[in-house]
Amino acid sequence: MCNTNKDVVPVRIDYIDAWRFLAVVMVIQSHIFVYSGLKITFLAPYLDQLDRLGELGVLVFFVISGFVICSGLVAEKNRSGTICLPAFYVRRFYRIIPPLWLYLCCLLLLNAVGIIAISPQQALTSASFLCNMPFPDGCSWFAGHTWTLAYEEQFYLVFPLLVLFVPLINNSLRFGLAIAGLTMGSMILNRTGHLFLGEYLMYFIFLLIGCCCALLPEKIMSRIRQMHVALWLIVIALLLICIGYVPDAIEKQVKVVCYPVLILLMVLGTPTQVKAIAVVFKNRQLCYLGRISYTVYLWQELVTGNYVGWLTFVYIAAVFAFAMISYRYIELPFQRTATLKSDGLKAAAAKVLLTTYQQDRQY
């Protein structure tokens, strides 16, 4: 399943990093204004909308993740005819696990000295990417946000196998029809009271819509990337209308039907050909903040609980400062290690394949 070629890395779309930063800001504002205990009178009527905006940030992360990961897998498969699964999982491990386990270890240390409350069982649930499961004890507030990582890692445990072995994945039209089927399934499950299963499918749809976009022909992708600024603003307006005015009774149905495509168009259709928009979305500092957003996302949960108050703004600034240090001295070194191990796995597998081929020729 492996090849000797190094991974084909698609050209980095810089404004996706800017969207990562904006997505984490959406999550943080929700935690501050809805959950941190701050009493801001003029925001009181809009707490539901702010909470929905926070979830929108998570959904933006899902769509971006699906697009970026699938683009890399498809590029590798197109070049070599296959995907090195062990190398993929090694890269995924070193990208996600070290920052997460560092965070969880710090939580357990703070629990041991009586500053916060999180049980070893709750930390283990989070560390094993099971926070999206309906366990009675949950994962506590401090690790509860890792439900998003649980969906992603469960998805990526299976998706590379689909890319390799399921013909459906190699055709964007058939893939799109499959997503439509999952959308119908999620709606039916929600309407019939199977809320957990309905949500489980729904979050996978956001990852899949990003993957589907990675399979689109370049001609279509170019049109999306050159979206007219007026259309792009309409897409954003529709999302904001959904967040602000859709009744709770139909919110889940609207989310699963409308949000995936709207988020995809909003992110990938960012009209950076317009100078005023490029100034924001191609800003180096903003894109850098997007690259450190994973650590920011992990640690912001610790400082936005219902016990901090106005100091949360100071702590959030500290989280960003720590994320910069972590990115340079923890994440980047681990990513370089992952690259070396990934190349080693490919070389070892290539050697085995070459030996097998030579033996077959002798017979």
* pTM of this structure: 0.91
CB 186 within 8 A of CB 198: yes
Residue type, position 301, single letter: E
Give the Cβ contact number of residue 312 at 10 Å.
21
The answer, yes or no, to whether residue 290 has pLDDT greater than 60, is yes
CB within 8 Å of 286: residues ≥ 6 apart: 17, 18, 21, 280
- The per-residue pLDDT for 335 is 93
Mean pLDDT of 18-36: 94
Query: What string of DSSP letters covers 174-187?
Result: HHHHHHHHHHHHHH
**Angle at CA 254, nearest 5°, toward 248 and 256?**
120
Mean pLDDT for the chain overall: 88
- The per-residue pLDDT for 7 is 40
Q: Give dist(CA 321, CA 106) in Å, integer.
A: 17
Q: Give dist(CA 281, CA 173) in Å, integer.
A: 30
Q: What pLDDT band is residue 2 in, cutting at 50, 70 and 90?
A: very low
Higher pLDDT, 197 or 10: 197
Percent of the chain whose pLDDT exceeds 70: 88
Q: Give dist(CA 25, CA 50) in Å, integer.
A: 12
Q: Hey, what's the torsion of the CAs at 19, 142, 146, 94, to 10 degrees? A: 90
- The per-residue pLDDT for 160 is 72
CA 335 to each of CA 146, 329, 330: distance values in angstroms, whole numbers, following the listed order: 21, 11, 9
Of these ranges, 24-28, 81-85, 302-306, the one predicted with the greatest mean pLDDT is 24-28
Helix 248-268 to helix 229-245 angle (10° resolution) is 160
Q: What pLDDT band is residue 4 in, cutting at 50, 70 and 90?
A: very low
Q: What pLDDT band is residue 144 in, cutting at 50, 70 and 90?
A: very high
| N residues, the chain | 363
Percent of the chain whose pLDDT exceeds 90: 63
Mean pLDDT of 90-114: 96
Q: What pLDDT band is residue 86 in, cutting at 50, 70 and 90?
A: confident
Mean pLDDT of 71-77: 81
CA 242 to each of CA 30, 165, 167, 177, 191: distance values in angstroms, whole numbers, following the listed order: 16, 38, 35, 24, 19
Mean pLDDT of 131-137: 92
Task: State both tokens at 38.
Answer: 């701050």
Task: State both tokens at 4.
Answer: 């000797």
What letter does residue 330 receive in the DSSP assignment?
I
The answer, yes or no, to whether residue 300 has pLDDT greater than 90, is yes
